Amino acid sequence: MLLPLEISPIQQVSAASNCDNGDFVTPKWNKTVERLAKIPNVYDYDSEYLDDDGPRGGKGQRGENQDPVEPTEYDGPEESWMTWEPNNDLNLLRDDFQTTMLIGNDAVGTLRVNLDHQRRTTICVTIDTTNNSYDPSADVYLMTTTQYDRYTAAYDLAHGAWSWGYDGDSDVSDISPEWRSFDITGWNSYRDSHKYEDIKEVSFAISLDGPEISSSLFGGSSNQYFNIVIDNTNNSHRNDALPETTIAASVTVVSEERSTILPNWTVSLVCCGLMLGTLVIPIVMNRRYMDAGLSLTNENQQLEKGLVPTLEQNQPD
């Protein structure tokens, strides 16, 4: 696997103050951190079937008067190896690091890490311009591997993959998060909260309850890596930033020990305790109300205590 030679750590980042006091080291590329990218050059695997001379030599499905669509050549700062899926086994991220990604117009830059659930991770991102004529902004997302796969599929679809004629202006923001997985272009960020759109600077922290594991419908499970996605394209969200030019995204990641880690069962214990308390308190209050003043009946002290006397029937002699 080739190492990213064009990416080097930077000395200072003007992100949030939460990231200024880290003990920064050079990231171990393809060991703890991976660099990925999505660029507009999307190969259409179905296009050969649409040409007049198909792969079997038969008549294609493309109309006789329709000219073939020539892809636009992308000239951005990304290198070709960034578009490959490396599939490395990443070590848990326990070091602080800084780096800068150059992201072309209508492209996406990604840093993939393996977060440690026993540590608290703070991520700071600052968007700078490479062209003083622009003051760009971008979108920042945190996604698991499964969520990132759906996001990249939507990106490819929006750029002509599979010849589906996808309308890039369609908006999935009106679709509730639980139903987006049933939409071909539906995707969301981690916990549907780590999405920061049309920003120039952002800082956020994440603490995991445990190792992030994805379970398959047909059995089996896989560990999920986390992807810090810098989106410089017009995606399907309504309030996302519009791409203007190539951007430089300064990313700082600080990992620190968590002071207190409560086991997962404490959440169930607290919730069940609240539910039981909600049921028991009315019963106890009703019982005390029903018993109020009964102990004073034999001493005829109910009127003295301001209580309504009970009705008693005198037994015949």
Q: In percent, how much of the chain has pLDDT > 70?
A: 66
- In tens, the pLDDT along 25-35 reads 998 999 999 99
pLDDT of residue 305: 57
Q: Is the pLDDT of residue 304 over 70?
A: no
pLDDT of residue 82: 93
- In tens, the pLDDT along 182-233 reads 555 678 898 888 999 999 999 999 988 888 877 766 767 778 999 999 999 9
Among the listed ranges 3-12, 143-152, 203-212, which one has the minimum average pLDDT value?
A: 3-12
Q: Is the pLDDT of residue 47 over 90?
A: no
pLDDT of residue 8: 39
Indicate the residue type of 150.
R
pLDDT of residue 52: 46
Q: Which residues contact 219 (CB under 8 A, 6 or more apart)?
A: none
Higher-confidence residue: 136 or 307? 136
pLDDT of residue 284: 87
pLDDT of residue 158: 84
pLDDT of residue 75: 85
- Tokens 């019982």 map to which residue? 287
The arrangement of secondary structure in 17-39+74-257, i.e. its CATH architecture, is Sandwich (2.60)
Section 246-268 average pLDDT: 84
Q: How confident is the model at residue 245 (pLDDT cuts 50, 70, 90)?
A: very high
Q: Which residues contact 136 (CB under 8 A, 6 or more apart)?
A: 127, 129, 232, 241, 243, 244, 245, 247
| 247 touches 201 (CB < 8 A) | no
Q: Is the pLDDT of residue 310 over 90?
A: no
Average pLDDT, the chain: 77
- In tens, the pLDDT along 112-137 reads 999 998 899 999 999 999 888 899 99
| 44 touches 161 (CB < 8 A) | yes
Q: How many CA atoms lie within 13 A of 192 on its CB side?
A: 11
Alpha helix (H) ranges present in 56-176?
A: 145-158
pLDDT of residue 314: 54
Q: Is the pLDDT of residue 265 over 90?
A: no
Q: How far is it, in rounded angstroms, from Cα 109 to Cα 227?
A: 10
Q: Is the pLDDT of residue 175 over 70?
A: no
Quick one: tokens of 134? 């622009």
Q: How confident is the model at residue 13 (pLDDT cuts 50, 70, 90)?
A: very low
Return the beta strands (E) in 27-106 as ranges: 33-38, 92-93, 97-103
